[in-house]
Structure 1
Amino acid sequence: MRIALLTEGRQDGPAAVVRPEPGPGNGPERDREGPGPAGAAGWGERLAAGLPEHEFERYLLLPGAAPGPAPQPGVHRLALGGPARGGRGPGTVRRRHYAQAYEDLVRALVQPRERAGFAVGLHALAELTRQDGALPAFLASDHAHRVLERVWRSPGADTAAGQPLLRDVLVAGDLLEQCLRPLTADWYGSGPGGLGGVDLCHVVGGGPAALPALVAKQLYGVPFVLTEHGLHLREQYLGYRQAPYRWPVRALLLSYFRQLTAETYRQAALLTPGSGYDREWQLRCGAEPDRIRVVYQGTAAVDRPAAGPEPAEPTLLWSGRLEPAADPELMLHAFARVRTELPAARLLLRGPEGRPGHREHLAELADRLKLTPAVTFAEAGEGDWTDGTVAVFSGRARWRSGALVGAMLSGRAVIATDVGATRELLGPAGLLVPPGDPAALAVACRALLADRERRSRLGLAGRLRAQERFAVEPAVAAFREVYLELVTRWPAYPAVERRAGALPRPFARPAEYWVAGGRPRQAAEAMAEAR
């Protein structure tokens, strides 16, 4: 079967769009917070390689201003950054239709009682721009800005701590244009390269990547499955905490992502979160429990050899971004307690600086705690755990699961704070401590540094657990079953069956259609059309 794989170019943090100041020549830029899990592109490649019986078309949404040439056939790209694309605007009559659809969408974002208008406005804009391609020009026009300003300032609108200023309207208009840019892609059609000609859409990551799938389902009845390795909506909330916008703009954009997430969860045939923790968040966001199936993210790193011999000196290896969310300060305070009983212990803080000046701040803290001779800072070395005796994660919020899985695969014993999906991923193969508790973290570190046998036992258990749970084969097998399950209970040839009065035919395709080397696709489709 033909499967459209819809992903963002990177899946490593919030897809927030940052625009420094409204003015000529200042195009929006993408800003992402922190390295996330394995990129969606690499994950999609592993999935496609494991399912050679299916034909995958790749649709990438890139954060840059220019997508560049497609690297290979079957790959389609769309740039989300940069200024709005030019083009001719709609005529007088069409402009009224655009304005009404845009007003429905904005009302759904700012009026609590108008939430139902989000999907109506979204699909109306998609249909209008599919006919004339004038959406980018309309969203950049003064008419669209006047609609946004009028609805945003209407009585009862949720402006979150203040009325929007004119500059807020201009900034929010630019941001909404980027958010809606996937509607303007030339991916909608039943011909070659069109989403109307695929059997199934697989959205990885959610957010902007879900928009083409929503449109394809509305226009052609193509079902889609959504995979989230870390929740896109949650990453948006984290990303907009430091975004350079006033509160009304933040509220408007976060409302957009909330409504988009809710609509995606409503329309998806199946949700496949990467952990049970993500499943609970999806349920809180309105997803139906009978349409959720947890599929752990497979990684090719399970074949990586275990780390070599332990270092000569007992060393705690902390790995992550040097920023408050990862809480390296907690590690330093805990290490000060460890040193009172194990003066030979060493601490290696390894990772990039997540916030300017944070490395210097940590060095000053280590100096105040009289730890400077025993503390070393190093740049990130992905997958290298040989320099540590014990791997430690001290974050106060969930971190990317890839780092924890990598530590488990190294065979080193792991200590982690009990946040996010850590308990689910680590299980009994490591030590969990409460977040923000230096005394508990110090006790766990001393216990493992002083007991080689226990370290060895936990390290082996963690490696075996990670190899079993995060291998590529179980994930590939799960999606093979998901794909076949969905196509067998979804109408075949949905683009054809949307004719007025037509009844869906779940088994309209002949058996030869699914057999490699069988009839050409066109012959099979013609046979089904003739019935």
Structure 2
Amino acid sequence: MRVALLTEGARPHPNRGAGRWCDRLAEGLPEHGFELYLLTGPQGPTAVDHLPSVWRGARALALWGRRPRGRAPGALRRRQYARAYEQLVRALVMPRERGGFAAGLYGLAELAREDREDATLPAFLASAHARRVLERVWRLPGADTSAGHPLVRDVLVAADLLEQCLRPLSAPWYGAGPGGLGSADLCHVVGAGPAALPALVARHLHGVPFVVTEHGLHLREQYLGYREAPYRWPVRALLLAFFRALTEETYRQAAILTPGSDHDRQWQRRCGADPARTRVVYEGTEAVERPAAGAEPQAPTLVWAGALEPGRDLELMLHAFAEVRAALPGARLTVHGEEARPGYRAHCEALAERLEVAGAVEFAGRPASPAEAWAGGTVAVFSALSQRSPALLADAMLSGRAVVSTDVGVAREVVGPTGLLVPARDPRALAGACLALLRDEERRDRLGLAGRLRAQERFAVEPVIGAFREIYLEVVSQYPAFPTGAGGEGGGSPRPFARPAEFWLADGPRTPGAEGADGASASPEYAEAV
């Protein structure tokens, strides 16, 4: 089957994009034809130049930066755009009109598709007319302005950000022709957020089902990121309302959701996801093939790894280490990670001085590889206030080192009974767990081996590939073929099994003349079988 992979490749925010995960998926399912549709930063189409060969022919759209050139709509068309845009904005700011988001979104998508040759939608969204619509609706009586009354500069900033968020609606990807999403059998959205917009449009216009994979929830990351965004609170509230509405519509329309952990699955349910359409698929990692770490260091050493920021709570680790050091004078602490909050490393170094453990604490920076970090320690310790991703925990477990972690986020789900879990913000409990392992070599070895086996079982690549092989077949089996389009060109009605099995073979009928008008093969064998 033809699978369209939709993901973000670059954003103003770090740590986004699918990366190697999409490569492994396409390489693991060679029986399917994958095509990549990439939302990028200002580099636009040039972003596909350095992709692996498996993505030859990938398509890219610049999501951020200068808007594409387009022709402003005429008077009649402008009114149609304004009506759809107003409906969408009212859904964002009027509490009683939340249900109008989908209608406004699809209204803009249909207009943009009709005017795709002229790129009219970006031109309209950047026009003074669209800004007036936004300003008028935003200041209506009853509008939600709990974040503050919007100023003129807020309208200008918000209009520009909304244009960038809605830019995928005007992508030249829609239609049932070659390269169009309408001819795909399935869309696979990796990362959600704006990457889900093309899948929603393809679902609306052509009936193409889509699957959503999230390794870390896009909406949660937006809430965390906008706390420090360089915008006033009214703008932040409006954009978060957009992402919240987009997430709810994505979860509502998706055929299957595949969160990367049960912790994320619970968050998705709070956003309206249907539990019956949710499958937890852990993010596979090639690190499962890595050999376990070698011999432990001579001195009892705790190793801590992560971004140097308050959320990782290195202060808790330092307070706990002070108690460990008092009970075990030869103990050492190695801290691996780069500074994510300016001044935070200096703050932690000063705290180590006050606790009189600075001589036993090494700030080693970013290691050459995670395996190198774990190999230099006796016990791996995680002291975060929230643990949203299982990746770092799983990597530590794969090293064969025993793990101590605060019981937050995905920690209990990932570590399970193979490590020690302690309450967050409790230095005494963290110190006690570390001392228990440092003093008991047999227990360390037993937990380290159990943790490695557990991580290998849950985070191997093969189970991920197998899970998506089954998910793709399950989704496609529940959706009929659309030989003449659904809701789009031709107006044909769906026909289950409209294409014979031999259609999907590499040497099967792929040219327009090889099929009948209804998409079925004209071969006598097929006619006889029917």
> Which residue in 2 is equivalent to 1:23?
none
Equivalent residue for 1:46, pick from 10, 24, 49: 24
TM-score (norm 1): 0.93
2:170 counterpart letter in structure 1: T
Matches of 1:525 and 1:466 in 2, distance apart?
A: 48
Equivalent residue for 1:506, pick from 476, 496, 499: 496
| Deviations 1:186-240, CA, capped at 9 Å, x for gaps | 1112122110111000001100110000000111110001111111111110000
Q: Which runs of 5+ in 1 are unaligned?
A: 16-29
- Match of 1:339, SS state, is helix
Matches of 2:189 and 2:403 in 1, distance apart?
A: 33
* Aligned-pair CA distance for 1:493: 2.1
Q: Whose helix proportion is higher, 1 or 2?
A: 2
* Aligned-pair CA distance for 1:495: 4.7
> Which residue in 2 is equivalent to 1:465?
454
* Aligned-pair CA distance for 1:2: 0.1
> Which residue in 2 is equivalent to 1:101?
84
Q: After TM superposition, list the pairs within 5 Å mapping 1:26-65 onto structure 2.
A: 30-32=12-14, 35=15, 40-65=18-43
Equivalent residue for 1:403, pick from 392, 395, 413: 392
* Aligned-pair CA distance for 1:74: 3.0
Equivalent residue for 2:382, pick from 379, 382, 393: 393
Q: Does residue 263 in structure 1 map to residue 253 in structure 2?
A: no
* Aligned-pair CA distance for 1:497: 4.5
Matches of 2:261 and 2:47 in 1, distance apart?
A: 35
| Deviations 1:318-361, CA, capped at 9 Å, x for gaps | 00000000100100000001011001000011101010111111
- Match of 1:378, SS state, is strand
Equivalent residue for 1:131, pick from 92, 95, 114: 114
Instruction: Tell whether the 8 Å contact from 2:484 to 2:490 is kept in structure 1 after alignment.
Output: no
Matches of 2:512 and 2:326 in 1, distance apart?
A: 75
* Aligned-pair CA distance for 1:476: 0.6
1:103 counterpart letter in structure 2: E
> Measured at CA, do residues 89 and 205 of structure 1 come closer, stay the same or move farther in structure 2, by a change above 3 Å?
same
Instruction: Tell whether the 8 Å contact from 2:499 to 2:520 is kept in structure 1 after alignment.
Output: no
> Measured at CA, do residues 444 and 518 of structure 1 come closer, stay the same or move farther in structure 2, by a change above 3 Å?
same
Instruction: Tell whether the 8 Å contact from 1:337 to 1:439 is kept in structure 2 after alignment.
Output: yes
Q: Does residue 191 in structure 1 map to residue 174 in structure 2?
A: no
Greater RCO (CA < 8 Å, at least 6 residues apart):
1
- Number of equivalences: 509
Worse-superposed segment, 369-378 or 84-93: 84-93
> Which residue in 1 is equivalent to 2:3?
3
> Measured at CA, do residues 358 and 497 of structure 1 come closer, stay the same or move farther in structure 2, by a change above 3 Å?
closer
Matches of 1:502 and 1:386 in 2, distance apart?
A: 62
Q: Does residue 350 in structure 1 map to residue 333 in structure 2?
A: no
> Which residue in 1 is equivalent to 2:365?
379
- Match of 2:46, SS state, is coil
- Match of 1:240, SS state, is helix
TM-score (norm 2): 0.93
Q: Does residue 453 in structure 1 map to residue 427 in structure 2?
A: no
> Measured at CA, do residues 501 and 204 of structure 1 come closer, stay the same or move farther in structure 2, by a change above 3 Å?
closer
Matches of 2:444 and 2:188 in 1, distance apart?
A: 41
Matches of 1:505 and 1:195 in 2, distance apart?
A: 19
> Measured at CA, do residues 222 and 501 of structure 1 come closer, stay the same or move farther in structure 2, by a change above 3 Å?
closer
Worse-superposed segment, 511-520 or 226-235: 511-520
1:51 counterpart letter in structure 2: L
Identity %: 66
Matches of 1:334 and 1:74 in 2, distance apart?
A: 53
Equivalent residue for 2:416, pick from 405, 417, 427: 427
Worse-superposed segment, 207-216 or 271-280: 271-280
> Which residue in 1 is equivalent to 2:508?
518
Q: Report the RMSD for the aligned CA atoms in angstroms.
A: 1.6
Q: Does residue 141 in structure 1 map to residue 127 in structure 2?
A: yes
Instruction: Tell whether the 8 Å contact from 1:66 to 1:82 is kept in structure 2 after alignment.
Output: no
Matches of 1:217 and 1:203 in 2, distance apart?
A: 12
> Which residue in 1 is equivalent to 2:52?
none
| Deviations 1:286-340, CA, capped at 9 Å, x for gaps | 1111111111111111101111111111111000000000100100000001011
Matches of 2:185 and 2:295 in 1, distance apart?
A: 50
Matches of 2:362 and 2:214 in 1, distance apart?
A: 36
- Match of 1:428, SS state, is helix
Matches of 2:114 and 2:88 in 1, distance apart?
A: 19
Equivalent residue for 1:252, pick from 227, 233, 238: 238
Matches of 2:484 and 2:18 in 1, distance apart?
A: 28
Matches of 2:398 and 2:513 in 1, distance apart?
A: 49
Equivalent residue for 1:241, pick from 221, 227, 240: 227
